[in-house]
Amino acid sequence: EKVIEGSGRVLERVGEREWRLVPTGFWQAHRGAATTYSTVVGEWAQASAGATAWDLYGGVGVFAAVLAEQVGPSGHVVSVESSKTAVDDGMEALADLGQVSFRHGRVERMIPELPAPEVVVLDPPRAGAGRDVVAAVAEAGPRRIVHVGCDPASFGRDVGLYRDHGFELADVRAFAAFPSTHHVECIGLFTR
């Protein structure tokens, strides 16, 4: 990479918050996706003031910002992400939110170290969360889970895994965020 002009960073916004990202980092492909998904996460997470929430596969903290508003300054949001670049960009963007902490590492390895959550939001890669992560999330005992999935097949598999652990799919929304492709973004709310 060689910056010819400018800062070498990409500016993205969700609501009033800005993220300055490395150009090779991940951001939603559809222009309105981050804002739209954040709105749904906010509606469904319903984290209580002072609660603990997890943002798994948290990227640069777009959903962590929403959760931070809900838990307030006395709460705690833990964002776990395997990309060090995304963690660094997220820490910079959310530096004013003391209730948010970022952890760099693989979700399946980090879950045992996390404090018990009231709410879990997760946005795994195309392969989905899978058996081990769903089991670990369920065992942590959250009241609500908001699961974002970009592949309907892996999302469907994960729905079945949550059901095996006593969670029901209370609501689901699908978004054609990738026009002219077979990909559909699904967001599910799971409750016990």
- Report, as residue numbers or ranges, the catalytic residues: 150
Say which residues have a Cβ less than 8 Å from residue 79's Cβ, sequence separation at least 6: 54, 55, 56, 58, 61, 63, 64, 87, 90, 100, 101, 102, 103
Q: Give ∠ CA 167-171-175 in degrees, rounded to 5.
A: 125
Give me the DSSP letters along 89-116. HHHHHTTT-TTEEEEES-HHHHGGGSPP
Is-contact 185 174, C-beta < 8 A? yes
